[in-house]
């Protein structure tokens, strides 16, 4: 496996919600003192709704000829998996709303649903980089959280920027996207997650 594929897997969009939760609970804010039992429950809800359930449905979709490969590299094959992903994320959002103390996590989940919905709409006409939307969303989350809670997240922000650069290069190196698709994915993820989280938390 070459370096570009390793980077693409480490920075896979399915992993971004878990990375985001880790950052939130290590942000130097009051959320660092969230009870460990609650943190484990949140990790479980997010892990199941954003990784386990979306992955589990892929073999069925492939068997039914909705997708030809698990990488979803064909634009038209993305719509059904993305629709299922939105449903699973919505389930996670519903469960997370049961815990008001960590409402920011639920809002982040809802922001991700909005982002995936926009990606699905764009994918009906054009191929956009979901990987770059994921890392762009992560950076948008870090920036919005810093503004809202005055958290000390400079290290995470810099790490996100560096990873975004490596990931963008990797997607181009693998010939999976054009430069415009890479830039558009990053901007979409950043703008949607940042603006949605800010609006939900402020209002």
Instruction: Check residue 111 and give its pLDDT.
Output: 95
CA distance 115 to 130: 10
For the chain, how many structural domains are there in total?
Answer: 1
Length of the chain: 203
pLDDT along the chain (203 residues), means of 10: 88 95 91 92 96 94 85 83 96 91 88 96 94 97 90 90 96 94 97 94 72
**Model-wide pTM > 0.95:** no
C-alpha dihedral sign at 184, 199, 19, 115: negative
Name 135's Cβ contacts closer than 8 Å, sequence gap at least 6: 11, 13, 16, 160, 163, 164, 167, 186, 189
pLDDT at 28: 86
Q: Is 166 helix (H, G, I), strand (E, B) or coil?
A: helix
> What is the distance between the alpha carbons of residues 72 and 31, in angstroms, rounded to a whole number?
36
pLDDT of residue 1: 55
Query: In the prediction, which pLDDT does 68 show?
Result: 81
- Which structure tokens are listed for 105? 């996590």
Domain that holds residue 14: 3-202
* pLDDT given for residue 171 in this prediction: 95
């Amino acid at each position: 496996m070459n370096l570009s594929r390793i980077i693409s897997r480490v920075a896979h969009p399915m992993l971004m919600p878990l990375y985001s939760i880790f950052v939130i609970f290590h942000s130097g804010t009051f959320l660092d003192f969230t009870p460990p039992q609650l943190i484990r429950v949140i990790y479980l809800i997010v892990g199941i709704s954003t990784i386990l359930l979306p992955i589990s449905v892929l073999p069925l979709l492939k068997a039914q000829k909705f997708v030809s490969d698990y990488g979803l590299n064909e634009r038209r094959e993305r719509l059904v998996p993305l629709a299922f992903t939105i449903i699973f994320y919505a389930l996670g959002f519903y469960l997370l709303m049961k815990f008001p103390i960590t409402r920011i996590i639920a809002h982040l989940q809802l922001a991700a649903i909005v982002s995936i919905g926009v990606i699905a709409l764009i994918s009906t006409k054009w191929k956009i980089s979901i990987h770059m939307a994921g890392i762009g969303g992560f950076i948008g989350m870090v920036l919005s959280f810093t503004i809202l809670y005055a958290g000390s997240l400079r290290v995470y922000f810099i790490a996100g920027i560096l990873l975004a650069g490596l990931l963008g290069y990797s997607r181009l190196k693998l010939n999976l996207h054009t430069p415009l698709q890479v830039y558009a994915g990053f901007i979409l993820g950043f703008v949607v997650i940042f603006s949605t989280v800010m609006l939900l938390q402020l209002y």
